[in-house]
Amino acid sequence: MEVMKGSLEWINRCKLFILDIDGTFYLSGKPFNGSKLFYETLLKTGRKLVFLTNNSNRSINSYLEEFRELGFELTREQIVTAGIATAEYLFEEFGPKRVYVVGTEEIKDEFRRVGHILVEDEPEIVVVTFDLTLTYEKIKKATIFVSRGALFVVTNPDLNCPSIDGPLPDAGAIASVIRKASGVYPNIVFGKPEPKLIDMIIRRHALSPNETCVVGDRIYTDILAGIRSGTFTVLVLTGEATAEDGLHGPVKPHLIVQDIGILAKFIS
């Protein structure tokens, strides 16, 4: 474990912990050994926990059910996803528009719930998500639509999503294919490392960035988002990044630990 100067003093000033899910709290639905200890430590010390994920193919209810089955009771307010936040942001900014979603039926239902009009032709907006049901037909349609002038939106910039089997192509990789085929760059990329979601969570809890800690396994999304929002940042080594990345890369977390179970031992 590596500790940057002043990190341990700062961490106990944090009242809100914003955690990534895959690669940080669990991997492919299996919690890491220290996850229960971390969860119980925050409960015992009266701190707030919010999960923030760039995963854009699932509903909040599916996460709540999954966590409940794993033994963790959460509320809707404790789950924030890039996919649903994108749907809400687009509706707030543009109102009800004709939208073509490259995504699962589950995330499409969330877009409908927000108030969008989902279409298969002549959309005003194309939204690319982490689509586990991706087909060539979807890529073809999205490419044609953005080349004709539809707003090109990507829910999150991640190139891959960690899994037990290995990395899976994520929204950033899918969007890259469409960008290269169409020659059109995305107009909006949501999710981490953009600070919008973290800023929103902090405001909801009436706290400040220096009372907030962002924890994640990816430097270019989780850690960078926290730094851009002015929060304390912790890199865990249970996902994508290595200690070498955190120590010698251009973006440096305030603290590096093996897992969130180790982090829990410093919270009192």
What's the confidence (pLDDT) of residue 7?
62
| Every domain of the chain and the residues it spans | 2-54+192-264, 83-189
Confirm whether 170 is a catalytic residue: no
**Annotated catalytic residue within 20, 158, 245, 259:** 20
- Classify strands 2-3 and 255-257 as parallel, antiparallel or unpaired: antiparallel
- Residue 95 makes CB contacts below 8 A (sequence gap 6+) with none
pLDDT of residue 5: 45
Contact residues for 169 (Cβ-Cβ < 8 A; gap 6+): 134, 159, 160, 161
Lookup: tokens for 199: 């800023």
pLDDT score recorded for residue 158? 87
Compute φ and ψ for 48, nearest 5 degrees: -95, 140
Contact 226, 254 (CB under 8 A): no
What CATH number labels 83-189? 3.40.50.1000
End-to-end CA distance of the chain: 19
Burial (0-12, 13-18, 19+ Cβ within 10 Å), 37 = middle
Q: What is the predicted pLDDT for the residue at 35?
A: 98
DSSP 8-class letter at 22: B
Give the integer Cα–Cα distance in Å for 222 and 200. 15
Q: What is the pLDDT of residues 147-159, one digit of tens each?
A: 999 999 999 998 9
22 in a known ligand binding site = yes
- pLDDT for 230 equals 98
User: What whole-number distance in Å separates Cα of residue 256 and Cα of residue 239?
Assistant: 13
Amino acid sitting at position 51: F
pLDDT attached to residue 66: 97
| Distance, CA of 101 to CA of 103 (rounded, Å) | 6
Cis peptide before 123 (omega within 30 of 0): no
**Which CATH code is given to the segment(s) 2-54+192-264?**
3.40.50.1000
- 20 in catalytic set: yes
Determine if the pTM surpasses 0.85: no
CB-count burial class (<10 Å; 0-12, 13-18, 19+) for 131: buried
Check whether 217 is labelled as a binding-site residue: yes
Tens of pLDDT along 204-230?
A: 999 999 999 999 999 999 999 999 999
In the sheet where 2-3 sits, what is the strand order? 2-3, 255-257, 232-236, 212-216, 16-19, 48-53, 79-81
pLDDT under 70 in the chain at which residues? Answer: 1-7
Same fold, 2-54+192-264 and 83-189: yes
Strands of the sheet containing 188-189, edge to edge, are 117-118, 98-102, 125-128, 151-154, 188-189
pLDDT at position 196:
86
- 259 labelled ligand-binding: no
